[in-house]
Chains A and B, each alone.
Chain A
Amino acid sequence: MNRVDAMFKRLKREKRCGLIAYVTCGDPDVDTTVRVVEELERAGADAIELGVPFSDPIADGPVIQAAAQRALEGGTTLLDVFRAARAIREKSQIPLIAFSYLNPLLRFGMERFGKDGAAAGFDAVLLTDLLPEAAREIQRSLHHHGLGLVFLLAPTSSEKRITMIDRASDGFVYYVSTTGVTGTRSDLDPALLGRLDEIRLRLRKPLAVGFGISKREHYDALRERCACVVVGSAIVRAIADGDPVGAPQRAGDVVRSIVYHSGQ
């Protein structure tokens, strides 16, 4: 069984809501990213989304945009993202999901990405601007190398699309909590909890909820309603908020402030 499926099985067995932590790879540099991920796992993160920096991140708010820009200015490429994944994988079995826009992977070649990505230790890929109807061959290339492809579900998705996305997505479905870009928000979308109750009944796959989740009270409101939450901008902001040496500690503190349990 792959690491993503194993994680959701374990969360179910332990009857707890997990936490996926997002970091932009290469912000401020690749070595720091590796150390941050190690600390995020110690702090209680159940899986890692490793962000591939892209020049035109249309689904991201200012915090992650700025992180991508810093990473690109530092010269981070897909090869560095693989290097980071390999370094993480040397010490850890935490599920690793590549979080990217389509173009950097297309340019690299999907077959080649599947091969090198799997070899580096990735388990799955999530592409913000790829819909299931355009993904068939890309998904086949990834499957060929044992990588899953995760799709997003939005508050505006029709009934028909909910079913389609549930069927197409590998391992779990990522629900976007609100219409908007990534970024911390003080309150959850007021319609979110009710919407999750409806959607959960329709999904066969585990549900992760992301966008705008940054606090323990968000986690508390969501923990009975999804398998996992995703925390991104709050971690990325903490990494940027001081010197690189202290970045792992600051990132870990964000996770510790949200979840109760300590790492396994």
Chain B
Amino acid sequence: MTEQPRKPRATSSKSLPDRAGYFGDFGGRYVPETLTAALDEFDAAYRKMRRDREFRHELDRILAEFVGRPTPLTEAPRFAELCGRFRLFLKREDLNHTGAHKINNAVGQALVARNMGKKRIIAETGAGQHGVATATACALLGLQCVVYMGEVDMARQELNVFRMRLLGAEVVPVSSGSRTLKDAINEAIRDWVTNVRTTHYILGSVLGPHPYPMVVRDFQSVIGREALVQLRKRVGKTPDVAIACVGGGSNAIGLFYEMLKHESIRMIGVEAGGRGPKLGDHAARFSGGMPGVLHGTHSMVLQDEFGQISETHSISAGLDYPSVGPEHAYLQQVGRIEYHDCSDELALEAFHRLSEKEGIIPALESSHALGWLMRNGNDIATGSVVVANLSGRGDKDVPQIAALEQRHT
């Protein structure tokens, strides 16, 4: 890592990361020495399988027959009317098996793990979607599964805890620190350091040490690849705007990655604005963070002046994390993608409006992208084609929202 930022080399990240896992200044591998052998092994296995026809066929077969890909592209005209004068298409990752995009990565990594001969899988989860997806992939492939989850998240996502247990996974409550996603990752890393010889860690977002940001991105890039084909059929062109919520950033990079080469596409990542701009009240890393190292990667991190990691807040557990994928940090630095935030309140508003107007209950995470469109859609040119990633469905959020609104009425 350099103290003075290196000059970014290219605006396309097609050739990134480099061999050491850097996207410009960001990324890399900042882990205890104990993990380097496992990360090298995973990197080598993944690179080999990526070229292997049999592996690709098996993954494609599972995605088609088990996950339910390709997912539909749904036009949402009644919701779009509330936002502006553009056409809005939703990429329906909520219709994947298990209800979110997370399964794309979970089955991919579980296949790699099985082929590496690792019989035990660990994972962290925030909202529970990645935990459920990993538990599902492990059930499918006959692997043992342990999921770490913060106690706060377990309380707000009770249903997903039960689903993971139904799927045969062990869910381990994490009671340290803020008892959310960040602490679940700490605990998963500690498990991995201990059981590294027998265990593969299925990290759920484009975070962590190299090669995770690359591997997770590649497995999620199916989202944008499908969307481009579907849009070409429906409107005969690439979209004018692509938008997605950004927690760690896997659904966003999944939508954006194949579109990066089309320079005319405006790309927008939406972070959790939470309750307000004070440190601790949001998870907006680009407006409130500084470069730093957390969980093995150099990226934008919410931290205090002494480098202690801040607590974060978001109404949605999946966005409630103090760092962001390093490739996002790079794409922001070089100006390819713009990042904004959306408050709890506005996300909640979008959650209701999409449900009422389109018959689709979105995840609170995805609602942040929709909320930003409601607030700022008037600035998008008339007749533009906008594609938003509907990264997950909102069923998991219904009890939390019911409780919240009961309190308020």
* Smallest Cβ-Cβ distance to B196: which chain A residue: A179
Contacts of A128 in B (CB 8 A): 32
Interface centre among A58, A101, A108, A109 (most CB of B within 10 A): A58
B308 near A104: Cβ-Cβ < 8 Å: yes
Set A61, A105, A137, A157: member contacting B2, Cβ < 8 A? A137
Residues 98-118 (chain A) with a chain B CB within 8 angstroms = 101-111
Residues 186-229 (chain B) with a chain A CB within 8 angstroms = 186, 189-190, 193-197
Is residue A198 contacting chain B, with contact meaning CB distance below 8 A? no
Residues 14-56 (chain B) with a chain A CB within 8 angstroms = 20, 28-38, 40
Residues 74-120 (chain A) with a chain B CB within 8 angstroms = 77-78, 101-111
Is residue B177 contacting chain A, with contact meaning CB distance below 8 A? yes
> Contacts A102-B293, A103-B301: A138 and B1 contacting too (C-beta < 8 A)?
yes
Set B32, B40, B308: member contacting A129, Cβ < 8 A? B32
Is residue A37 contacting chain B, with contact meaning CB distance below 8 A? no
Interface centre among B31, B291, B293 (most CB of A within 10 A): B293
Is residue B82 contacting chain A, with contact meaning CB distance below 8 A? no
Is residue B303 contacting chain A, with contact meaning CB distance below 8 A? yes
Set A69, A101, A156: member contacting B197, Cβ < 8 A? A156
B196 near A156: Cβ-Cβ < 8 Å: yes
A110 near B3: Cβ-Cβ < 8 Å: yes
Q: In whole angstroms, how far apart are the Cα atoms of A158 and B36 in the complex? A: 9
A104 near B193: Cβ-Cβ < 8 Å: no
Distance (whole angstroms) from the CB of B21 to the closest CB of chain A: 10
Interface centre among B29, B193, B194 (most CB of A within 10 A): B193
Chain A-chain B contacts (Cβ-Cβ < 8 Å), number: 126
* Smallest Cβ-Cβ distance to B309: which chain A residue: A55
A108 near B307: Cβ-Cβ < 8 Å: yes
Q: Main SS of chain B's interface residues?
A: mixed
Is residue B346 contacting chain A, with contact meaning CB distance below 8 A? no
Is residue B173 contacting chain A, with contact meaning CB distance below 8 A? no
Distance (whole angstroms) from the CB of B35 to the closest CB of chain A: 8
Is residue B294 contacting chain A, with contact meaning CB distance below 8 A? yes
Is residue A227 contacting chain B, with contact meaning CB distance below 8 A? no
Is residue B101 contacting chain A, with contact meaning CB distance below 8 A? no
Is residue A193 contacting chain B, with contact meaning CB distance below 8 A? no
Set B37, B186, B197, B303: member contacting A58, Cβ < 8 A? B186
A137 near B3: Cβ-Cβ < 8 Å: yes
Contacts of A77 in B (CB 8 A): 306
Q: In whole angstroms, how far apart are the Cα atoms of A181 and B34 in the complex? A: 10
* Smallest Cβ-Cβ distance to B301: which chain A residue: A103
Residues 126-161 (chain A) with a chain B CB within 8 angstroms = 128-131, 133-134, 137-138, 141, 151-158, 161
Is residue A259 contacting chain B, with contact meaning CB distance below 8 A? no
Distance (whole angstroms) from the CB of A227 to the closest CB of chain B: 19
Q: In whole angstroms, how far apart are the Cα atoms of A22 and B95 in the complex? A: 52
Set A59, A109, A110: member contacting B32, Cβ < 8 A? A59
A107 near B28: Cβ-Cβ < 8 Å: no
A104 near B307: Cβ-Cβ < 8 Å: yes
Distance (whole angstroms) from the CB of A58 to the closest CB of chain B: 5
* Smallest Cβ-Cβ distance to A59: which chain B residue: B32
A103 near B309: Cβ-Cβ < 8 Å: yes
> Contacts A58-B189, A58-B295, A129-B296: A153 and B33 contacting too (C-beta < 8 A)?
yes
A151 near B33: Cβ-Cβ < 8 Å: yes
Residues 57-81 (chain A) with a chain B CB within 8 angstroms = 57-59, 61, 65, 69, 72, 77-78
* Smallest Cβ-Cβ distance to B189: which chain A residue: A58
Contacts of A131 in B (CB 8 A): 29-31, 33, 36
Interface centre among B3, B34, B176, B292 (most CB of A within 10 A): B34
Is residue A20 contacting chain B, with contact meaning CB distance below 8 A? no
Distance (whole angstroms) from the CB of A24 to the closest CB of chain B: 14
> Contacts A137-B3, A157-B37, A180-B193: A58 and B32 contacting too (C-beta < 8 A)?
yes
Set A130, A141, A152, A179: member contacting B194, Cβ < 8 A? A179
A181 near B293: Cβ-Cβ < 8 Å: no
Is residue B182 contacting chain A, with contact meaning CB distance below 8 A? yes
> Contacts A58-B295, A107-B290, A158-B37: A152 and B32 contacting too (C-beta < 8 A)?
yes
Chain B 289-322 near chain A by CB (<8 Å), digits 1 or 0: 0111111100001010111110000000000000
Q: In whole angstroms, how far apart are the Cα atoms of A154 and B303 in the complex? A: 30
B31 near A108: Cβ-Cβ < 8 Å: no
Is residue A176 contacting chain B, with contact meaning CB distance below 8 A? yes
Contacts of A219 in B (CB 8 A): none
Contacts of A154 in B (CB 8 A): 32-34, 36-37
Contacts of A54 in B (CB 8 A): 307-308
Is residue A197 contacting chain B, with contact meaning CB distance below 8 A? no
Is residue A241 contacting chain B, with contact meaning CB distance below 8 A? no
Is residue A56 contacting chain B, with contact meaning CB distance below 8 A? yes
Chain A positions within 8 Å of B, measured between CB atoms, are 54-59, 61, 65, 69, 72, 77-78, 101-111, 128-131, 133-134, 137-138, 141, 151-158, 161, 165, 176, 179-181
The 9 nearest A-B residue pairs measured at CB: A107-B307, A104-B307, A154-B34, A156-B37, A180-B194, A154-B33, A55-B308, A103-B307, A55-B309
Write 20 A-B pairs (CB below 8 A) sorted by A numbering.
Answer: A56-B183, A58-B189, A78-B306, A103-B294, A106-B292, A109-B3, A129-B30, A131-B29, A131-B30, A131-B31, A133-B20, A133-B29, A134-B30, A137-B2, A153-B33, A156-B34, A158-B40, A161-B37, A179-B193, A180-B34
Known: A154-B34, A157-B36, A180-B193. 12 other contacts (CB 8 A): A102-B30, A109-B3, A110-B3, A131-B33, A131-B36, A133-B29, A134-B1, A161-B37, A176-B34, A179-B34, A179-B194, A181-B193
